[in-house]
């Protein structure tokens, strides 16, 4: 078991390092070639923190075509499946920021978990953390949607908030459900049997698991984004 745990630790470090490298490459390129939709300048590198090489490939194949310095003649409309994927990544990038902030706060101030149900509602601290995760992920996700939809439609602040809530509430919820499901599976079926306890945010294994959890969130939010964009509730990214 010790050897397995050690290998898992090394794999986690490698996966996190590769994802950070992919995010850095995208950030470096996007700095010189900003996206037409400014919020996507942040979405792509943030998404690479969990999507790693897959997001890197997706960016250079489809995202880079949306740069401001690409003419309309050079720009090729992506398939609808890609449009939906970009919408899901846009939603997920906000969720990612919210989850990172929430888990980091609880790592630094563990007593905060009692505010969200630890000991008096949940025996496991993980579930209390999920409450804060959802709250901050929802706020960050709506923030990302707000700054995508307001410039496109010229909305007032109040109209922008309402439109952002309509466009992304279901998507954000679907993303978090997928994320929680994968995280619970890994904690209960991998980490607890392997080492007798859940991993916490102070270890790279936790963030490695979070990468997979975010991919789970992408999968569960994808069909929701498909419907939202088809129905005209959410604008294509």
Q: Which residues contact 170 (CB under 8 A, 6 or more apart)?
A: 224, 228
List pLDDT tens digits, range 103-137. Answer: 999 999 999 999 999 999 999 899 999 999 999 99
Q: What is the value of pTM for the model shown?
A: 0.92
The per-residue pLDDT for 2 is: 59
* Residue in the structure block whose two tokens are 């929802």: 138
Task: Supply the mean pLDDT for the chain.
Answer: 91
Mean pLDDT comparison of 65-69, 124-128, 214-218, highest-scoring range: 214-218
Percent of the chain with pLDDT over 70: 98
Tell me, rounded to whole angstroms, the distance of Cα 152 from its chain centroid: 22
Averaged over 87-106, what is the pLDDT? 93
With 80 as the cut, is the pLDDT of residue 70 above it?
A: yes
Closest-CA residue to 235 (of 173, 147, 115)? 147
Buried b vs exposed e over 14-44: b needs ≥16 C-beta within 10 Å? ebbeebeebbeebeebbeeeebebebbbbbb
Closest-CA residue to 146 (of 134, 135, 157)? 157
The per-residue pLDDT for 99 is: 92
The per-residue pLDDT for 1 is: 53
With 70 as the cut, is the pLDDT of residue 63 above it?
A: yes
List pLDDT tens digits, range 165-211. Answer: 888 899 999 999 999 999 999 999 999 998 888 999 999 999 999 99
User: What is the H or E stretch that residue 111 is in?
Assistant: none
pLDDT band at 76 (very low <50, low <70, confident <90, very high): confident
Which residue spans within the chain are E strands per DSSP?
A: none
The tokens for 125 are 């601290």
What are the beta bridge partners of residue 97?
none
Among 121-125, 145-149, 186-190, 225-229, the least confident range: 145-149
CB atoms within 10 A of CB 232: 8
DSSP codes, 28-68: HHHHHS-BSSTTHHHHHHHHHHHHHHHHHHHHHHTGGGGBT
The per-residue pLDDT for 141 is: 87
With 60 as the cut, is the pLDDT of residue 73 above it?
A: yes
Using left for φ > 0, alpha for ψ between -120 and 50, and beta otherwise, residue 155 falls in: beta
List pLDDT tens digits, range 20-36. Answer: 999 999 999 999 999 99
- Dihedral of CA 153/156/157/161: which sign? negative
């Amino acid at each position: 078991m010790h050897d397995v745990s050690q290998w898992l630790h090394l794999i986690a470090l490698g996966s996190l390092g590769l994802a950070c490298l992919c995010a850095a490459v995208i950030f470096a390129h996007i700095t010189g070639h900003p996206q037409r939709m400014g919020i996507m300048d942040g979405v792509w590198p943030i998404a690479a923190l969990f999507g790693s090489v897959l997001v890197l490939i997706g960016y250079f194949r489809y995202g880079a075509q949306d740069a401001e310095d690409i003419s309309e003649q050079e720009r090729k409309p992506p398939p609808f499946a890609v449009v939906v994927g970009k919408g899901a990544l846009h939603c997920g990038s906000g969720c990612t920021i919210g989850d990172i902030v929430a888990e980091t706060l609880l790592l630094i101030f563990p007593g905060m978990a009692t505010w969200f149900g630890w000991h008096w509602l949940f025996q496991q601290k993980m579930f209390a953390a999920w409450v804060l995760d959802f709250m901050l992920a929802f706020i960050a996700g709506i923030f990302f949607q707000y700054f995508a939809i307001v410039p496109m439609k010229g909305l007032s602040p109040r109209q922008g908030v309402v439109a952002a809530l309509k466009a992304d509430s279901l998507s954000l919820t679907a993303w978090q459900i997928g994320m929680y499901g994968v995280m619970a599976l890994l904690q209960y079926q991998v980490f607890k049997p392997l080492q007798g306890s859940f991993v916490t945010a102070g270890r790279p294994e936790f963030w490695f698991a979070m990468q997979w959890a975010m991919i789970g969130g992408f999968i569960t939010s994808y069909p929701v984004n498909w419907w939202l964009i088809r129905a005209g509730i959410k604008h294509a990214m």
